[in-house]
Amino acid sequence: ENDLAQAGWPDITMDTLDDGTYYTLTLDGDTVFDNLPITEPVAVRFTLCGTPGARYHISFFLDHQPMAMSGEASSSVELSKGGVAVVEGVIDPSLLGKLSTFYCVAVPADSAGTPFFKTNSILLFQEA
């Protein structure tokens, strides 16, 4: 619940999770809303919880191109009651330009009223 509040979902409790789907995105363990200087590899963690049975394809994007995760463009998850789906990765600064845009999308596998999510676009920059 605390992670959801920090990520901008302040009114969510364990009792309300069945009625919607919620996510968090952290970079090196912190919620980042707009930009991040990057000199070392950055751990990325996207969590999704809520409506049991909802299925999603989750992709990380760097400069509007999907980042490969275990050789795939997306990771598939299914939400369960009381569970949290987690997708993790690492951004290697040696693969970045001076300025790069990063975000994550969660696309429903079934369209029956399941919402689509896109995180804020985060500017990753390397200081000179």
Look at residue 95 in the predicted model and tell me its pLDDT: 87
pTM of the model: 0.85
Own/partner pairs, 72-79, CB within 8 angstroms, 24+ separation: 74/107, 76/109, 77/48, 78/53, 78/54, 79/21, 79/48, 79/49, 79/50, 79/51, 79/52, 79/53, 79/54, 79/55
Using a pLDDT cut of 70, give the percent of the chain over it. Answer: 84
Per-residue pLDDT reduced to its tens digit, 20-32:
888 999 999 999 9
Q: Does domain 2-125 have CATH number 3.60.15.10?
A: no
